[in-house]
Copies of this chain bind each other. A is one copy, B any other.
Amino acid sequence: MPTLLGSRDAEWLENEYLQARANSIELIETLEPEDCVIQTIPEVSPTKWHLAHVTWFFERFCLMEHDDSYRPFNEDYLFLFNSYYHSVGKMHLRSARGLLSRPLLSEVLAYRNHVDSAMRAFIDQHHADPAVSFKVVLGVHHEQQHQELLLTDIKHVFFSNPLAPQFQTQSPNYKPVEVAHEFIDHSGGEAEVGAQETGFCFDNETPRHRVLLNDYALGNRLVTNAEYREFMGAGGYRDSQLWLADGWAHINEQNWNRPMYWSEETDREFTLHGWQPIEPTNPVTHISLYEADAFARWAGARLPSEQEWETAAAGVTVTGNTLDQRRFHPSAPQSSSRHGLLQLWGDVWEWTASPYAPYPRFKTLAGSLGEYNGKFMANQTVVRGGSCASWASHLRASYRSFFYPHDRWQFLGLRMAKDVP
* Chain A interface (Cβ < 8 Å from any Cβ of B): 32-38, 40, 48, 76, 79-80, 84, 86-87, 92, 96, 98-105, 157, 160-163, 165, 190, 209-212, 214, 240-241, 243-248, 289-290, 293, 353-355, 357-358, 360-361, 370-371, 375-379, 405, 419
Contacts and interface: CB of A to CB of B under 8 A. Distances in A.
Contacts of A105: 34
Given A32-B33, A32-B104, A244-B375, 10 more contacts: A34-B36, A34-B101, A34-B102, A38-B100, A38-B101, A86-B240, A86-B248, A99-B157, A102-B163, A244-B378
A211 B48 CA distance: 47
A299 to B, nearest CB: 16
Contacts of A32: 33, 101-102, 104
Main secondary structure of the interface of A (DSSP, over half): mixed
Contact of A99 (B84, B160, B357): B160
5 contacts: A34-B34, A102-B163, A212-B212, A246-B376, A379-B405
Identical copies in the complex: 4
Contacts of A293: 378
Given A105-B34, A357-B353, A361-B214, A99 B165 contact: no
B379 A246 contact: yes
B34 A214 contact: no
A293 B354 CA distance: 20
Contacts of A79: 162
A152 to B, nearest CB: 16
Contacts of A405: 378-379
B34 A37 contact: yes
A378 to B, nearest CB: 5
A35 to B, nearest CB: 4
A161 B102 contact: yes
Contact of A354 (B161, B246, B357): B357
Nearest to A210: B212
A246 B214 contact: no
Contacts of A100: 38, 160-161, 163
Given A101-B34, A104-B32, A376-B245, A92 B162 contact: yes
A361 B371 CA distance: 35
Given A104-B32, A212-B212, A245-B84, A99 B38 contact: yes
A272 to B, nearest CB: 15
A353 B211 CA distance: 17
A241 B87 contact: yes
A80 B160 CA distance: 12
A361 B419 contact: yes
Contact of A80 (B162, B243, B244, B248): B162
